[in-house]
Amino acid sequence: MVTANPVRCGVLGAGSFGTCLALLLAEREYAVDLWARDPKLADAINRHRRNPRYLTEFRIPECIHATSSFEEALSEKDLILSVVPSHSVRETWERAAPYLPPDALIVSATKGIEIGTGKLMSQVLQEVLPPEKHTHLVALSGPSFAQEVAEHRPTGISLASANESFAIAAQSILSTPSFRCYTNSDVLGVELGGALKNVIAIAVGVCDGMELGLNTRATMMTRGLAEITRLGVRLGANPLTFLGLSGIGDLMLTCTGDLSRNRQVGLEIGRGRKVDEVLGSLTQVAEGVRTTQSTYEVARKLGVEMPITEETYAVLYEGKDPKLAVQDLARRQLRSEYE
């Protein structure tokens, strides 16, 4: 494979966001190996130059090679993007780690919290990867629907790393005229914002599905941001991070954009469909469903009050009537806005 740019890239995950990031790298004329769990999907991408399951309307350039081999996807790479669903990050990287080059930059673009452990994706990777790889980790988050990124619509995201030089390195590799990357040192805050906004998006979707109006939507988003920040500060994040792209930026997009899978889940539940029926009809992962459970568990463990998350959990996992959940939120004890 010959390209004009010598940067060698691997993308783990051939879903919507993995595919759009591979297309982004191809735009920079990088050589890209796109890993798909299913060998049949990898073969179809190579043969037809289309992803038959995700972003099907976009042609896959010749500089992108799909593979189901970790060795092909990771060996001799300069940059590796991790874009697998949150529930499979640990298992995927336990298998992939032996093929990881010593100096590769690892960018995690998965938004979620691991169920059971309460770990963010960078923390999962730190547990799986050897210590010398930890400083090479960068978290990518922000308002970025895959469809619009692939369409070259102007997008801004955050790249966070404990080591500023690696965030800057990822910034220089990933930025294009339509994909503007900003660096950040608050890995925890950037990842939390990207994960927790999906929970609030489900709640906002429920309210919109019940046709409760724009006042309700704005209130739920604002109070949702308050509880995201409350948990973030308790865990050690910088509160200003939640006013940035990976915080309020991603929250606004996911709560109001019709391309949001999490919003769509909430909409259907608010319109009266059963939770099991809605979740069973999904063709792509809605990360907020699992993140609701993991966030609920973390908040209870730490004693952090997150009423919207608690009611969303009750609707998704305890069969609570969405109308009752909204009523219970509205009837909570009155208090200061800053509590």
The tens digit of pLDDT for each residue in 143-196 reads 999 999 999 999 999 999 999 999 999 999 999 999 999 999 999 999 999 999
Q: Do 144 and 261 belong together in one domain?
A: no
**Does residue 337 belong to any structural domain of this protein?**
no
Amino acid, res. 181: C
Please give the Cα distance from 122 to 139 (Å, whole number).
Answer: 7
Region of 116 (left: φ > 0; alpha: ψ -120 to 50; beta: rest) is left
**Does residue 180 belong to any structural domain of this protein?**
yes
195 sits in which H/E element: helix 187-209
Angle at 69 between CA 17 and CA 32, to 5 degrees: 50
Amino acid, res. 108: S
The tens digit of pLDDT for each residue in 259-315 reads 999 999 999 999 999 999 999 998 787 899 999 999 999 999 999 999 999 999 999
3-state secondary structure of 282: coil
pLDDT, the chain, mean: 96
Counting residues of the chain whose pLDDT is more than 90, the rounded percentage is 95
pTM above 0.85, yes or no: yes
Q: Do 204 and 118 belong together in one domain?
A: no
**Does residue 21 belong to any structural domain of this protein?**
yes
- DSSP string covering 143-182, please? S--HHHHHTT--EEEEEE-SSHHHHHHHHHHH-BTTEEEE
Q: Do 154 and 225 belong together in one domain?
A: no
Q: Do 153 and 213 belong together in one domain?
A: no
**Does residue 62 belong to any structural domain of this protein?**
yes
- DSSP string covering 290-328, please? HHHHHHHHHHHHHT---HHHHHHHHHHHS---HHHHHHH
pLDDT at 282: 84
Q: Do 241 and 171 belong together in one domain?
A: no
Q: Which residue has the higher pLDDT, 104 or 5?
A: 104
Q: Do 149 and 264 belong together in one domain?
A: no
Query: What residue numbers bound the domain in which 80 lies?
Result: 8-185
Choose the final residue of a domain: 185, 205, 236: 185
Q: Do 174 and 192 belong together in one domain?
A: no
CATH number at residue 44: 3.40.50.720
Domains held by the chain: number:
2
pLDDT at 162: 94
Q: Do 240 and 106 belong together in one domain?
A: no
**Does residue 335 belong to any structural domain of this protein?**
no
pLDDT at 1: 40
Least confident of 25-39, 72-86, 105-119, 275-289: 275-289
Q: Do 172 and 79 belong together in one domain?
A: yes
- DSSP string covering 197-262, please? HHHHHHHHHHHHHTT--HHHHHHHHHHHHHHHHHHHHHHT--GGGGGSIIIIIHHHHHHH-TT-HH
The tens digit of pLDDT for each residue in 212-241 reads 999 999 999 999 999 999 999 999 999 999
CATH number at residue 304: 1.10.1040.10
Q: Do 198 and 323 belong together in one domain?
A: yes
**Does residue 339 belong to any structural domain of this protein?**
no
Region of 213 (left: φ > 0; alpha: ψ -120 to 50; beta: rest) is left
Choose the final residue of a domain: 185, 216, 232: 185
Q: Do 159 and 39 belong together in one domain?
A: yes
pLDDT at 284: 80
Given a cut of 60, whether residue 3 has pLDDT beyond it is no
Amino acid, res. 50: R
**Does residue 256 belong to any structural domain of this protein?**
yes
pLDDT at 2: 43
Catalytically active residues, by annotation: 197
The tens digit of pLDDT for each residue in 59-72 reads 999 999 999 999 99
Residue with tokens 């938004």: 111
**Does residue 85 belong to any structural domain of this protein?**
yes
Choose the final residue of a domain: 140, 169, 185: 185
Alpha-carbon Rg for the chain in angstroms: 20
Given a cut of 60, whether residue 4 has pLDDT beyond it is no
Q: Do 276 and 143 belong together in one domain?
A: no
In whole angstroms, how far apart are CA 51 and each of 43, 111, 144, 151?
A: 10, 22, 19, 15
With beta carbons less than 8 A apart as the criterion, state whether 106 and 74 touch. Answer: no
79 sits in which H/E element: strand 79-82
Please give the Cα distance from 186 to 158 (Å, whole number).
Answer: 10
